[in-house]
Amino acid sequence: MTRIHINASEPYDVIIESGAIGRIIDYIQPLKTKCQVIIVTDDNVAAHYLSAVKDQFEKAGYTVFDYVFPHGEASKNAAQLIDLIEYMAAQSLTRKDLLVALGGGVVGDMAGFAAATYLRGIDYVQIPTTLLSAVDSSVGGKTAVNLKAGKNLWGAFKQPILVLCDPDTLNTLPDTEWINGCGEIIKYGFLDVPDLLTHLENKPLLDHRHNVGQIIARCVQAKADIVEQDERESGVRALLNFGHTFGHGIEIASNFEIHHGYAVAIGMMLMAQGAVKENGLNPTVVDALKALLEAHQLPTSTSITKDALLAAAKHDKKSQGATITIVVPTSYGSSQLKTVTHEELANYLV
């Protein structure tokens, strides 16, 4: 079992433990006595884990409801969020009650945003069941839904009271979801964690899945270090967006048929290629990144047009009028923030 403490405005622990999903109450009861609980999940995850999780709460004396919505990024929208909040209100949830996000990044974002805004804030717990949510979206308190104009434009910061990650839940994932998570894992290597990149070069995660708990812990610790410095993304936390400026545009332009981690992989490649031209990045970094992405079956190019990517960037959260803050790799395992005009951003799309 690995316990990582997040020293945020509302401190909490991230527990990474095989078999933890069968011992949820052991971790919940010290934080939350008997109350009403709504388990938020999607139809994919519900088939695997909802009954077992619900039974644990009920046997411990909690009053339990569940809210299940269709899986996929398309469900992360304003209408679905409002429906969830209306359901919470219909069950007369109070500020003493609890929301549980059981699932991947979409579930975590929906439940977290609902918890942030319902009654001006109630407690929630993250139980990530995808690799991407385990290493990234379940930690740090960023919650949001998508708008027609762009991805994650309506949201709030809301830290959970606990993140409980059971690597065993990843065994039910299809290969596409493992690959999806690898996009974000490789991103972490460029946040001054070059040893992670070296590890992945020597032991590609897809061929060494038994090591996933260690990889999750390394990524969570890297994110914790950044979140503790800049919880509200006013500075260094923006480094976590490496590959996301173009990646979000790829997701939107593909109507989310290209999954987040795949899009981030392409976004990292595009930014690295641009950094060779615009910032003098050593071309060997691009070669090494390309090899690592391909070793994890991730794409490195896209047919989506330059104009579509630049149009999407104008609606990006990091856009500030005429300028946008981007994350530029400076070496193999390091990146920096740079503010450029949208005209200059076009130069990064080689």
Tell me the backbone φ, ψ of residue 349, rounded to 5 degrees. Answer: -90, 90
Are residues 81 and 110 in contact, defined by beta-carbon separation less than 8 angstroms? yes
3-class DSSP state of 111: helix
**Cβ proximity of 138 and 109 under 8 Å:** no
The SS3 assignment for 5 reads strand
Q: Has 233 been annotated as catalytic?
A: yes
86, 113 contact by CB (below 8 A)? no
User: Out of 32, 54, 76, 142, which one is annotated catalytic?
Assistant: 142
Specify whether 48 is catalytic: no
Marked catalytic residue, from 32, 187, 223, 259:
223
Length of the chain: 350
244 is catalytic: yes
Q: Which residue pairs, CB below 8 angstroms and at least 24 apart, start in 271-275?
A: 271/242, 271/243, 271/245, 271/246, 271/326, 271/327, 271/328, 271/329, 271/348, 272/329, 273/348, 273/350, 274/328, 274/347, 274/348, 274/349, 274/350, 275/328, 275/329, 275/330, 275/348
Q: Which one of the listed residues 48, 54, 259, 260 is annotated catalytic?
A: 260
Instruction: Show the tokens assigned to 139.
Output: 């930690």
Catalytic entry in 32, 48, 199, 248: 248
> Which of 177, 231, 233, 251 is flagged as catalytic?
233
Q: Where are the alpha helices (DSSP H) in 60-189?
A: 78-90, 105-117, 131-132, 175-189
CA distance 190 to 157: 24
The 8-class DSSP code of residue 123 comes to: E
Catalytic one of 73, 146, 158, 184: 184
Write down the catalytic residue from 54, 151, 218, 244. 244
Q: Which of 32, 151, 158, 237 is catalytic?
A: 237
- Token pair for 340: 């450029």
Known catalytic residue at 317: no
Is 120 catalytic? The answer is yes
Among the options 177, 180, 241, 259, which is catalytic? 241
Residues catalogued as catalytic: 120, 142, 184, 223, 233, 237, 241, 244, 248, 260
